[in-house]
Amino acid sequence: MKNACPCYSGKPYTDCCQPLHGGQPAPDAERLMRSRYSAYALKLPAYILQTWHADTRPKNLTLENLGGIKWLKLQVLSHEQTAENTAFVRFIATFQSGKLKKEQLSEYSRFSLEQGRWLYVDGQPD
């Protein structure tokens, strides 16, 4: 697919993560997680910080912080909303750092809904 979304949704970027990157709230935690993955792949540090819970986000995030890693694939394994304002997403992200072999990040991530917007809180290695 031409201009496929980096989040591996199978949709064009313009119909998937781009509206969220432009300010539209994610309808659920899975869509937020996918949009955050795309933001890492596209190197959009401002969006990553905006969608990170204030209690756990770093003070800053720059293009330099995101450089050197190429995000290759995202697999969402599960999405579970456990309460009105809490959800969890289990995923595997494949990446490559420099010329090294491909690696995988497997995480069970926690999200919180605050003032109508889902935010990434934290994650546990899975």
Q: What rounded mean pLDDT belongs to the chain?
A: 95
Measuring CA to CA, which residue among 27, 33, 28, 31 is closest to residue 11? 31
pLDDT digits (tens, 9 = 90+) for 13-24: 999 999 999 999
Q: What is the 3-state secondary structure (H, E, C) of 29-57?
A: HHHHHHHHHHHHHHCCHHHHHHCECCCCC
Domains along the sequence of the chain with CATH = 13-125 (3.10.450.50)
Chain segment 53-78, per-residue pLDDT in tens: 999 999 999 888 888 899 999 999 99
CA–CA separation, 99 and 47 (whole Å): 27
pLDDT on residue 48? 97
Q: What is the mean pLDDT of residues 85-98?
A: 95
pTM, 2 dp: 0.94
Range in 9-13, 48-52, 68-72, 85-89 with the lowest mean pLDDT: 68-72
